[in-house]
Amino acid sequence: MELTDLIGPDAVAADMKVNSKKQFLQEMAKRASEITGTEERHIFEVLIEREKLGTTGIGQGIAIPHGKLPNLDRLYGFFVKLERPIDFDSIDEQPVDLICLLLAPETAGADHLKALARVSRFLRNASTCEKLRGTESNDGIYALLSATATSHAA
């Protein structure tokens, strides 16, 4: 599974302007609703409930919020670089600026876990994160996401 299998060019945002975790989740629920056809309110509620279980801020300025929804037909991913970092209640208490949001069908047990692992591996690479933070356009970020598929194929 490659990142571009999850994240399409229309699901990337460079320099999103938000002031809080809640505002980010609201904005992403709105954007995800447009792409998935799922009601915005349902997406937001699932993401908020997941955050109540424990933060998805994994440290080093990275968060991977995720949730499962009953009416999705496949896994959906969204990648966002924030204009400025926000508090995400991260495990290292550092603000977050790189966020990969995943939405999965309720029935996607192993696939959901594989997608989370794939995103986590991608974002553990400090060089990759540095390049993402230095990229100013949606196309540039998508190119970096696409490059991982090419480099793993070799």
Which residues make beta-bridge pairs with 101? Answer: 78
Establish whether 66 is a catalytic residue: yes
Residue of 39, 153, 124, 21 lying closest to 80 (CA atoms): 21
Q: Which residues are CB-neighbours of 87 under 8 A, at least 6 positions away?
A: 20, 21, 95, 96
Q: Which of 42, 66, 112, 152 is catalytic?
A: 66
Active-site residues, by number, are 66
